[in-house]
Amino acid sequence: MCKSKLVIFLCISVITLKSIYSMDTTEAAGRANGLILPDRYNTSLGGYVSALPFVTFESIDDLYFSNLIHARLNLAYYPSDRLSLELAGRLRILTGDQVVGPQSTLIDFLDDDVGYLNLTRAWQAIVAGNIDRASITYYTPGWRITAGRQRINWGTNFVWNPNDWFNAFEYLDFDYEERPGSDALRIQFFTGVLSVLELTLKAAQQREERTYALMYRFNRRGYDLQFQSGLFGYDAAMGFSWSGSIRGGGFRGEVSSYYPVLNDDNGITDNLTFVASLSGDYTYESGLYILGEALYNGYGNGEFLDTIALFLRELSAKKLSPAPILLYGSISYPFNPLVRGTFSVMYNPEDLSVLTMPSIEWSIVTNIDFLFLAQLYYGNPGDVFGVLPNIFALRFRWSF
């Protein structure tokens, strides 16, 4: 029964995408080249090193001091005008009160100072590294084929992306702008100047983490429209999004639906579930920028077991939030070309808990930036925004 459901769903998806594709045959016929090929053979190398001292606390009498060193390296190589290779990764070193566990004999030895003044200090540390980009891309007129670990972003909104089936990210992780990657095969066919048909196959060790999907994006009357369909874990999934403007302001939306068609270890329920987000933004002549966004999560139950579960949960397009509904708003202003201030609020109307995030960004000199950021939570124990400690953080970053 489950297999027949899957076959019917995939047939409908193929027919739908085929009909969508036929709308843009004029654009496709008039496009001689699907993308801009690299015009030089070289190697590009870049990255950054940052220091992020921060304080976490639940009350003023309960402070924990920590520091995070974050180093990143991005490498790209173009051996020909048809081929490119990308390799990128990061190394993080966390020290301070956030590193838990008893001190070892080695720590005690290194912490010992034989002088009159104790000028030696040894810290426990967590060292973590990962490669989040490792891919090869082949270019040909109208086509681009990428295999390996890569960033695949099908979302259009800024905070929550229900259509980001491959690389869902945690918005509160402000120190990871690059976002995670997926091990996937990605085939893109550029059917027009503003349209692309894409097939992506994501590999994973666990079946529930695999995704196989088709996507078609095109432009109509100033709006970028996107349809996507495929198998998301155990579910047959379909998605739609748009991105455009109304009277000079941005207007975007995403919606994905999921229907279980494969058995998992917990059985199967014949429930069609939706996850959707809606956003709007506007920039004034003074540079003042405002953004509002709302999330509806059909899988939200409003509960987290503990703080660790909040940060270590496996994010996906179905698990963007524990709450059924979340609201977000932010306002930012450039005080001068080098300094920008932002104030953001995230609100859960179900339990009335709130997260506020004030920040200041300062470009000190070329390639050196400073960030002050706070994440302040208001809620009762058991609320969505009542389980995390508050954070004050400073970040100094040198980019190269």
Give the residue among 247, 248, 346 at the shortest CA–CA distance from 292: 346
What's the whole-model pTM score? 0.81
Banded model confidence at residue 40, pLDDT cuts 50, 70, 90: low
Res 29 pLDDT > 50: no
Q: Is the dihedral of CA 291, 303, 128, 181 positive or negative?
A: negative
Res 70 pLDDT > 90: yes
Contact 190, 196 (CB under 8 A): yes
> What single-letter amino acid sits at 299?
Y
Mean pLDDT, residues 259-281? 80
Contact 124, 101 (CB under 8 A): yes
Looking at residue 373, the DSSP 8-state letter turns out to be E
Res 210 pLDDT > 70: yes
Per-residue pLDDT of 340-365, as tens digits, reads 999 999 999 998 999 999 999 999 99
Contact 320, 300 (CB under 8 A): no
Q: In this structure, how many other beta carbons lie within 10 angstroms of the beta carbon of residue 84? A: 21
The token pair that represents 293 in the structure block: 């966004």
CATH number of 2-399: 2.40.160.10
Res 60 pLDDT > 80: no
Contact 186, 165 (CB under 8 A): no
The token pair that represents 399 in the structure block: 């980019």
Per-residue pLDDT of 222-267, as tens digits, reads 999 999 999 999 999 999 999 999 999 999 999 999 999 986 555 4
Per-residue pLDDT of 111-167, as tens digits, reads 788 788 888 877 788 899 999 999 999 999 999 999 999 999 999 999 999 999 998
Which residues have a Cβ under 8 Å from the Cβ of 78 and sit 6 or more positions away?
38, 40, 41, 42, 43, 84, 85
Greater model confidence, 73 or 39: 73
pLDDT at position 32 is 33
Q: Given the structure tokens 């993308």, which residue do they identify?
A: 35
Residues in the chain: 400
3-state secondary structure of 358: strand
pLDDT at position 119 is 82
pLDDT at position 111 is 79
Delimit the domains of the chain by residue range: 2-399
Give me the percent of the chain exceeding a pLDDT of 90.
Answer: 60
Residue 384 phi, psi dihedral angles, 5° rounding: -60, -45
Q: Given the structure tokens 């104030």, which residue do they identify?
A: 343
SS3 string, 166-222, reads CCCCCCCCCCCCCCCCEEEEEEEEEEECCEEEEEEEECCCCHHHCEEEEEEEEEECC
pLDDT at position 200 is 97
Res 35 pLDDT > 90: no
Mean pLDDT, residues 318-334? 93
pLDDT at position 342 is 98
> DSSP states of 220-281 as a string?
ETTEEEEEEEEEETTEEEEEEEEEEEETTEEEEEEEEEEEE-S-BTTB-----EEEEEEEEE
Greater model confidence, 273 or 60: 273
Contact 269, 298 (CB under 8 A): no
Mean pLDDT, residues 175-203? 94
